[in-house]
């Protein structure tokens, strides 16, 4: 399948840079040796890594505005495929249904996509602004004013309302690193929808009849305003990716608008496109490479054989220890492995691109 000929190069490039960053942070050679920008903030606060997922949801909203898909059937089918892929990745390769993680990145993307499609179908721009504001206000109220089944309002790890709800509804089906709460849980999906609605609004601005310079100025101005609002709110309702707080939505939405505005101006207004080629290749098969890289990483960690001292060594560890550890410090070897993963998938995607293969969900 060939890509649309009228699609914005800047949007593909921005999406591609985002998905490449996602693969970079998801595939260190050694998770104990990672430069701080390539790791999530432990709880409150942010790092560059914490921008990646909201940037992708922001672009889901933008792409919806520019998409020709309008009917309910295709939208629901696409959401179901995204959620199904997420559940497949969570269960692969053993599919233990009793402990299968229900939330996840693709599940959240599917839910936010469907919600944003419904918003686009039913509300005009002013209504979308009001809805986004209500979602953010509602999130603040729920997280700071409402007591849960286990205790009073809290923004701490494990005792906040989102974690309490997860334990009631998702017990046995949460993130294996915590088992008691999920970073893509139920309550935090509501403000995540607001992130996607911000993308819808950005797409509407992009579709307007204003010239490229005016559109760029709008993206930059709105981006700075949202970042400022997020930082102001951070003092009372902290920026937190795991809770997807309202301040996090405003801050990351502003960063997405600002950085996309710069990309749009350089690529589509000024016409400097040659440098975007690797990112465009990633952007046109974003979901395919996310799924493929996730499944390959799982396989590399599951294929094992005996190691020294009665231990077992995975294929991922063997590759890392053989080709990266001998010539670099631990943290640089870990980074080199992640960069090699990006290069490997670029070659795969480049081959697909040259053959006109674009896997859509």
Model pLDDT for residues 209-225, shown as the tens digit of each residue: 999 999 999 999 999 99
Residue 292 CA to residue 295 CA, distance in Å, equals 5
Q: Which two tokens stand for residue 307?
A: 């190691």
Q: Could you report the per-residue pLDDT of 150-176, keeping only the tens digit for each? A: 999 999 999 999 999 999 999 989 988
DSSP designation for 327? G
C-alpha pair distances (Å), 122 with each of 116, 197, 212, 289: 10, 13, 28, 32
DSSP state at residue 69:
-
Parallel, antiparallel or unpaired: strands 304-306 and 312-314: antiparallel
DSSP lists the bridge partners of residue 148 as 151
Rg of the Cα atoms in the chain: 21
Please state, in angstroms and rounded to a whole number, the distance separating the CA atoms of residues 270 and 266: 5
* pLDDT reported for residue 7: 62
pLDDT at 268: 95
Whole-structure pTM value: 0.94
């Amino acid at each position: 399948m060939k890509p649309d000929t009228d699609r914005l190069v800047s949007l593909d490039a921005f999406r591609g840079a985002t998905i490449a960053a996602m693969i970079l942070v998801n595939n260190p050679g050694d998770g104990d040796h990672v430069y701080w920008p390539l790791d999530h903030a432990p709880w409150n606060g942010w790092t560059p890594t914490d921008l990646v997922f909201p940037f992708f949801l922001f672009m889901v909203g933008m792409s919806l505005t520019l998409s020709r898909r309008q009917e309910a059937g295709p939208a629901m089918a696409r959401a179901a495929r995204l959620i199904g892929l997420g559940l497949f990745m969570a269960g692969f390769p053993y599919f233990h249904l009793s402990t299968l993680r229900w939330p996840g990145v693709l599940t959240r993307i599917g839910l936010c996509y469907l919600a944003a499609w419904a918003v686009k179908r039913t509300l005009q721009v002013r209504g979308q602004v009001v809805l986004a504001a209500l979602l953010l206000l509602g999130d603040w109220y729920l997280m700071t004013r409402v007591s849960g089944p286990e205790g009073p309002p809290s923004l701490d790890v494990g005792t906040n309302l989102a974690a309490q709800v997860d334990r009631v509804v998702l017990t046995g089906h949460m993130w294996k690193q915590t088992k008691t709460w999920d970073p893509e849980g139920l309550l935090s999906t509501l403000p995540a929808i607001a992130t996607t609605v911000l993308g819808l609004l950005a797409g509407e601005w992009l579709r307007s009849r204003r010239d490229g310079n005016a559109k760029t100025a709008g993206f930059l101005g709105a981006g700075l305003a949202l970042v400022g609002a997020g930082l102001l709110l951070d003092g009372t309702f902290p920026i937190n990716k795991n809770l997807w707080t309202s301040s996090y939505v405003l801050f990351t939405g502003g960063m997405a608008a600002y950085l996309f505005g710069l990309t749009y101006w350089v690529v589509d207004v000024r016409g400097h496109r040659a440098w975007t080629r690797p990112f465009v290749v990633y952007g046109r098969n974003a979901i395919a490479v996310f799924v493929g890289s996730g499944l390959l990483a799982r396989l590399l960690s599951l294929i094992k054989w005996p190691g020294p001292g009665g231990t077992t060594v995975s294929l991922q560890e063997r590759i890392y220890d053989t080709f990266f550890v001998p010539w670099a410090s631990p943290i640089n070897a870990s980074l080199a492995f992640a960069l090699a993963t990006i290069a490997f998938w670029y070659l795969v995607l480049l081959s697909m691109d040259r053959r006109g293969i674009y896997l859509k969900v």
